[in-house]
Structure formats: C-alpha cells, structure tokens
Amino acid sequence: MSQSIIQDIQNKLNNKEISCVQLVQEKIDALSASTKNANNAILADQALKQAEAYDKKLAAGGKLTSLEGIPFGVKDVYLLKGTISTASSNILKNYKSPYTATAIQKLIDAGAIPVCKENCDQFGHGSTNENSVFGPVKNAFDDTKVAGGSSGGSAVNVAEGSTVFSIGGDTGGSIRQPAGYNKVFGLKPTYGRISRYGLMAYTSSSDCVGPFANTVKDIATTLNVMSGKDGKDQTTVPSNEIDIDSFSADIKPGTKIGVYKSFIEHPSLEPSIKAGFDALIEKLKAKGVEIKELDFFDGDTLTATYYIIALAETASNLSRIDGITYGNRAMDRDNLASTYLDTRGEGFSEETKRRIIAGNQVLSVGYSDEIYKKALQVRKGIEAKFAKDFEEVDFVLSPTSPLLPPTIGDSMKDPLTMYLSDMYTVGFSLGGLPTLSAPFDVPNNVQITAAKGKDEEILRFAYAIEQGLATSQKG
Amino acid sequence: MDKLQQLSNIRAEEVNISKITDFFETIKNVSDISTEGAQDHIVKSDNLREDEVINCDPEEKALIMENFPAKQGTYLVVPKVIQ
C-alpha cells in the first residue's frame, strides 16, 4: 500500500511520467463519468488553466513541491471565489462566492487545484446525504445505499479516486461517518485548529474543517497546510507542524486505549461492527497495548445534547439567509413578512426547515432555561468527563456508527433513527476533540480520539496501525 | 399561522418537529452532572485584533452586487418595508 498518494502523484509529475493537464483531465473525466451524484459542479476550465501553469513550471526545469499540481474536491459549503456555492440548497442555487474560505485558499496557495464542488446535505443538515436539492449521493460500493453525510460527495470522490483528497466539514460526524460508509480516512481536527472563515455556518461551536484521503500521511499533509491561527476566525488556535517524515510503523510502547462500555454495549450496535471492533482491540492487545473500559454518557443523552445545541445555533446562523441581499428571493409578495416567509419556505428543504423551527423553539421563552441551558450544562459535564478520561488513557477507540449504511430513501421517512445514528460521533464534537475515522478492520471504520490538541498523536498511532496491523476494509 | 413558523420567518405547513421534541424529555431527565475540570473549548474573546478599515476588493464588490436578487439599472431593489 502506498504511504502517500499525494507524494506518488507528485513524483510522477516531476519525473514527467504524466503532465499536470493530463492528470487534471483524468480526474475531470472520472468526475463527469461517475454515476454517484457526488458533485454539484465540476470546475474544468479553471482547473485546467492552473494545471497548464504547473506544466510550464516543469517545462522550465522547475520541480513541484508541497501540494503543487494535486487535484482536490471541495464540499459545497465552502466559498471559492467566483464559483457557485449552493450548500445543496434551493435558496443559494445561484449564489456566487465573493471570496475564498481561508482553509481552501491555503490549499490553493500551496499549489493544490480545486476540481469540483461536492454534493452534501443541505447546510450540513443530515447524516445520509439525501437532504440535497441535487438528490442523494450513492455509496461508493453500493448504488442502493446512502453515502453518509453530510459530506457524502467528498467521501465518495476520494473512495473512487476522482479526487486525491477532498475537504469536508464536520459538525457532529459529517466527515467521520461518510468516511466510514465509503472506507476512506476522514479527520475532524481539534476545534479551532483550522479556520472556519468562508465555511457556511451550521453550529459554530462545533463546526470543523477537515480532510478526506486514502492514507494517513495524506491526511497529515493536508492538515499541516490548512492549520493555523486566522485573524478572520477568533476561535482559531495556534498549532505545531506535524513532522510526517518521523512517523513510525511501530506503536509507541506503553500506549493506553480507552473503550466506552456504553458504546459497545448499546443494543442498536450492528453485530458485524461489534465483531470487527472487538477483533481490532484483540490485535492491539497482542501488540502490548493496554485496554481500559470506561464509563461514559449513554448515546441517547449525547444525541439529545448535541441536537438541542445544534438546532439552536443553526436557527440563529441561518436567520441571515433571507433573500434580501443575496439568495433566491420570492418576488412580488404583498408585504415584507410574506417575502421572508415565502423566500425561506421555498428556499429551504423540509429537513432544514424542521431544524430551524425546532431551534427557535429551543431558544424561545419557556424552553430556553429548561432545555437549551440544560444542554449547555450537560455539554460541560461531557467536557469534564473527557478531561478526566484523557488523564488515564492516550486514545479512545469506538465504532463510527452503530448501523451499516441505510438504503436510500429509508432515513428520510424516519429522521429520529437518522439522528440516533450519530450517537458515536456527536460526543467528541461537543468536546471539541480531534477524531480520525480510519478504515481499519471495522465495517464503517473505527474512530480514534485523543485529548484536545493531540491531532499529531492520533495520526502517528493510526500510521502505525495502517502500516503494521490493519486489514484493508475496502469494498 | 403557527407561532414558531412566524418566529422562524418560514412558511412550512408540512413540517413536523415532534420527533425532535422527544430530545427535550431526554435532556430534562439528565441528572448528576459533574462539570469539575471542564475546559471551555470555545476561545475566549480576550485576544481581539484592532479594528481596521479595509477597502473591498473591486472584484469581490462586483460579485456581491451580482448576487443581489433584484436590480433596476444601477439601483438595488428591496421589498417594501412601509405599508
């Protein structure tokens, strides 16, 4: 298995085994030919123009470095100047980005070439990628199953090799769960490690920018480029560059792993997922890793806490989208109130409307203290429990989802089941912790979580498993 | 019209939020929460940058204008506010 697909491709470009234009054209052809409905737009003209510039550099005797010449995908909730950015919604179906998100600009500045805007759940509202005005994204391995969400298009493109890496967004599991359903790596970094400027806000207190890729080193490479404090996002924190060259195939001696009993004993956990997870734990034990069972909040409490906070924040964040200064406006209404009601009524999907309306209920008199503030208090309790747990263990391992990918159409009939399928991902989001969804042994991937700021430690541990321990779960 | 729809500025007769409100009961029933040792993961606003006037890039300005939903010549058309 390749250690870094980014490096392999760049070596081919530098050795002139393939031109950058050929490479980008291959990816555009693959994206165009795909039947997975993973893309809202393909950026052929501008991508080929950028590729020509790198071919000129090579022809002049230059060498490509960093991410120069590498094609990548962008979830359609990021602004990319001059391109249509829809958030998979009707209301923004014609919205043209006036500027570029910080994380995406950093990748472009490092030489990466955006080739597509990827289908996703509308404004991140979903776990199956069916809540899209462009229709559902199909799973990379089974056309009848969902891709997962909300960053489903990004996961599928990476799984199919149509992009070398893709940038998703993770609020409550929207990178990790589709990474699991499509058997690729997906990282939700520590909250604040990557700027959210230019990412359409869903739940500002847990929205994270993160990469999908096919190797741990490619995740680390893209993370290094995107990380750092940004004056345009007050919540960003400084971070050190990860020394990727020093990654080792050996697990660090004395590594301690925590496993949450409430997760692995949950009655809705699919038996094949549990069996795969148990097998991975046994392999780690055989390598000398100490395993410790830990008590934790139950999945229902985690899901309720997350959704109450997420609904409140999305109701607030999306109140700015009203068709007055941008977005599709309902024209010729009798009065201002009807213009707002119809613009937003026609512009948002049923699921997005449900979340906004429920969010306003959460924030209204009579509910704010009893529901919203209580959820904030429980969140503090969850953060306190994480702080205690990571004094005892280095990592917590868990399945990514209790369920195998559902059949397309089933989840929209039963949103509650969809919400509860997030029970293993939302807790780590509430804590702002770094978590990697990795395609090791477990159907739907295993999650590796560490204390805040320990993103590098997760990637080092995952690299050791990738190189020496894991069985590929592709397909 | 439903008060929540008015509060949300959304006409949405078909939307049912009863499944979500099940979460309210769950959260009400959570007890014995220990918050000792919790670290706020949201950065505190004690490191603000100075206010700075930056002229909008002309290309960005043009894109903002292009996104405006209704125009008449060089005028931007907004809904009537005063009846």
pLDDT, one tens digit per residue, over A382-407 is 999 999 999 999 999 999 999 999 99
| Number of CB atoms found within 10 A of residue B49's CB | 8
> Is residue A255 a contact partner of residue A291, using CB atoms and an 8 Å limit?
no
pLDDT digits (tens, 9 = 90+) for A109-144: 999 999 999 999 999 999 999 999 999 999 999 999
Taking an 8 Å cut-off on Cβ atoms, the answer to whether A383 and B9 are in contact is no
Taking an 8 Å cut-off on Cβ atoms, the answer to whether B41 and A191 are in contact is yes
| Number of CB atoms found within 10 A of residue A25's CB | 16
Query: What is the pLDDT at residue A146?
Result: 98
Taking an 8 Å cut-off on Cβ atoms, the answer to whether B10 and A328 are in contact is no
- What is the overall mean pLDDT for chain A? 96
Range 372-401 of A in CB contact (< 8 A) with B: 374-375, 377-378, 380-381, 383-385, 387-388
Q: Which H/E stretch holds residue A74?
A: strand A71-75
CB pairs under 8 A between A and B: 176
pLDDT digits (tens, 9 = 90+) for A16-64: 999 999 999 999 999 999 999 999 999 999 999 999 999 999 999 999 9
Q: Which residues, including other chains, have CB under 8 Å from residue A145's CB and lie 6 or more apart?
A: A138, A139, A181, A405, A406, A407, A408
Smallest CA-to-CA distance from A242 within A2, A69, A462 is with A462
Establish if A49 touches chain B: CB-CB under 8 angstroms.
Answer: no
CB neighbour burial string for B2-41, b if at least 16 within 10 angstroms, e if fewer: eebbebbbbbbeebebeebeebbebbeebeebeeeebeeb
Catalytic-residue membership of A274: no
Taking an 8 Å cut-off on Cβ atoms, the answer to whether A353 and B10 are in contact is yes
Q: With contacts defined as CB-CB under 8 Å, which chain B residues touch A86?
A: none
Query: What is the pLDDT at residue A468?
Result: 85
Catalytic-residue membership of A472: no
Question: How large is the greatest C-alpha to C-alpha distance in chain A, in angstroms?
Answer: 72
Q: How confident is the model at residue A82 (pLDDT cuts 50, 70, 90)?
A: very high
Q: With contacts defined as CB-CB under 8 Å, which chain A residues touch B34?
A: 381, 384-385
Range 196-215 of A in CB contact (< 8 A) with B: 205
pLDDT digits (tens, 9 = 90+) for A432-473: 999 999 999 899 999 999 999 999 999 999 999 999 886 655
Catalytic-residue membership of A316: no
Token pair 């707002």: residue: A340
Q: Is the peptide bond before B45 cis (omega within 30 degrees of 0)?
A: no
Query: What is the pLDDT at residue A474?
Result: 53
The reported pTM is 0.96
Token pair 């120069």: residue: A68
Taking an 8 Å cut-off on Cβ atoms, the answer to whether A319 and B26 are in contact is no
> Is residue A183 a contact partner of residue A471, using CB atoms and an 8 Å limit?
no
User: In the 8-state DSSP scheme, what is residue A43?
Assistant: -
Q: Which of B7, B17, B80 is the closest to A336 by Cβ?
A: B80
Range 151-190 of A in CB contact (< 8 A) with B: none
Residue of A132, A162, A174, A239 marked catalytic: A174
Query: What is the pLDDT at residue A475?
Result: 46
3-state secondary structure of A44: helix
Residue of B13, B25, B33 to mutate, testing the A interface (most A Cβ within 10 Å of its Cβ): B33
Least confident range from A76-90, A166-180, A263-277, B9-23: namely B9-23
ipTM at complex level: 0.93
Phi and psi at residue A273, to the nearest 5°:
-70, -45
Taking an 8 Å cut-off on Cβ atoms, the answer to whether A82 and B63 are in contact is yes
- What is the overall mean pLDDT for chain B? 87
